[in-house]
Structure formats: structure tokens, C-alpha cells
Structure 1
Amino acid sequence: MGRSLDDVLSQLPKARRLRVETRARELADQVESLAELRRMAGKAQVEIAASLGVKQPSVSKIEKQTDMYLSTLRSYVEAIGGELDLIVRLPSHAPLRIEALGDITAKMVAGVASKRQASRAKARAT
């Protein structure tokens, strides 16, 4: 007769067993799809549709999409009672939370424009 998973885990050194259990919890906290996320929130597609002001087939379509606007995703997450956070991880920085994508884009565009103006002014001066 084969051994159970509990038997195998109980034979591992404590540090290794803790790493396995931690990773198992991390994997359990991940979701594969919006539909799974909705089910975890205890909502039906009909409820989400009513909240979004669309018909149920539209919710089904959203859940099957592989690419969508952030605004669509944010609306969907809010309809199931959640909040969407956008986190950027760069190799040399701590994780950065983007609060308002439009504001950041406007600041970046303004920064690029002011750099171009400075470059042009410098070129004219020489």
C-alpha cells in the first residue's frame, strides 16, 4: 500500500515542511480566472451584470477575455465587492502601487515635454 501525503510530509524536516506548507497556502490564494474570483466572492453572473448595468452574457464574455481595459477589470472587481490594486515591481525598487494611471501618464507626458523643450532650447543656444 502507498503512503499518504500526510505521511510523506510528516517525515520531512520541520524547516522543509514549513516551506511546503507556506507554498501550498500561496498557491491556494491564487486564482486562475475571473469566474473563479467571482465564485470565491459568492456572486452569480446575474448579480455582476446588474451591478455593471449589462446583461448576463456580457459578464460571461468578460470572464472569458484574455485582454481587457483596466477600467473594465476595475469595474468587474468592484462589482464582486473587491478593490483592484495595480502594483509595479522593478528590479531595483520596492513594489510601487499605481494610484491613478491617468495622473501618472499626464505627469510622464509633461515631464517628457519639458525635457524636449529644454533640449531644443539648449540646441538653439549652441
Structure 2
Amino acid sequence: MGRSLDELIAALPAEEQAAINARYRDLKQEVEGLRELRQIAGKAQAEIATALNIKQPSVSKIEKQADMYLSTLRSYVEAVGGNLELVVRLPARAAIRLQSLGDIGSAPVSGKSRTHSRTKSGAAGKLAAKAG
């Protein structure tokens, strides 16, 4: 009969057990997507829909999106009872927490005017170009 994972870990040196437990705690804090975040918060799609003033099928659609406006993501996170923080990590620099994107979404980028005033979460290149 084979040994269980717990038995294998128990046979390792204490330092390795501590490293495994630390990594387990880190992984446990990560989530795969918005659906899992909502489930961890103990909320149903209908509750989120009510908080966002939309219909339940729209919540399902949001949870399946790969790209969305930051404002949509912020509203969703707040509806599950959380707070969205945006952190930028640059090489050889400490992490930078952005409080707001300000007027970036409404300012012209590369001389072209924008058709909407919100910045998509996938617009990191435009944000970097504006900063540079």
C-alpha cells in the first residue's frame, strides 16, 4: 500500500515541511477567477446582480470575461464585499499601489481621441506610454 501525501510530508525535514506549508498558504490565498471569489465570499449570483443593479445572467457573463473595464471589476469586487487594489510591479523598484487612474481614460493617447472615458484593464501599454 502506498503512503499518503501527509505521510510523505511528515517524513521530510522540518525546513522543507515549513516551506511546503508556507507555499500552501500562499496558494490558498489565490483564486482562479471572479466566480471563485464570489463563492469564497458566500454570495450567490443573484445577490451580486442586485448589488450591481443588473440581471443574474449578466453576472454570469462578467464572471466568464477575460477582459473588462476596471470600473466593472471594482464594482464586482465591492459587490462581494471586497476592495480592489491595483499594484504595479516594475523591475528593480518597490511595488507601487495606484489609487486611481484619474483622467487617463479621457485623455488623448498618441494624439488620437478616445471614444469612451473608461480605461480597460488590458490597456497597460497605453498607461505605460502615457507615463513615459
Superposed pair shares fold, TM > 0.5: yes
Report the CA distance between 1:13 and its aligned residue: 0.8
| Residue 61 of structure 2: aligned partner | 61
Report the CA distance between 1:7 and its aligned residue: 1.1
| Residue 43 of structure 1: aligned partner | 43
Report the CA distance between 1:33 and its aligned residue: 1.1
List alignment gaps of at least 5 residues for structure 2. 109-132
Distance 1:77 1:95 in 2: 21
Report the CA distance between 1:28 and its aligned residue: 1.1
Structure 1 residues 45-124: aligned runs within 5 Å? 45-102=45-102, 105=104
Report the CA distance between 1:63 and its aligned residue: 0.3
How many equivalent pairs are there? 107
Report the CA distance between 1:92 and its aligned residue: 1.4
2:25 partner letter: R
Distance 1:75 1:3 in 2: 47
Distance 2:73 2:35 in 1: 12
Structure with higher helix content? 1
Matched, 1:16 2:16: yes
Report the CA distance between 1:3 and its aligned residue: 0.5
- Percent identity between the two aligned chains: 59
Q: Which has the larger radius of gyration?
A: 1
What TM-score results when the alignment is normalised by the length of structure 2?
0.77
Report the CA distance between 1:29 and its aligned residue: 1.1
Distance 1:15 1:75 in 2: 42
User: Does the residue aligned with 2:102 lie in a helix, a strand or coil?
Assistant: helix
User: Does the residue aligned with 1:101 lie in a helix, a strand or coil?
Assistant: coil
Report the CA distance between 1:78 and its aligned residue: 0.4
Distance 2:10 2:38 in 1: 35
List alignment gaps of at least 5 residues for structure 1. 110-126
For the aligned residue pairs, the C-alpha RMSD in angstroms reads 1.6
| Residue 116 of structure 1: aligned partner | none
Distance 2:47 2:6 in 1: 40
1:31-83 C-alpha deviation (Å, 9 max, x unpaired): 00100100000100000000001000000000000000000000000011100
Distance 1:30 1:93 in 2: 23
What TM-score results when the alignment is normalised by the length of structure 1?
0.80
Structure with the larger RCO, 1 or 2 (CA within 8 Å, 6+ apart)? 2
1:8-43 C-alpha deviation (Å, 9 max, x unpaired): 111111111100111011111110010010000010
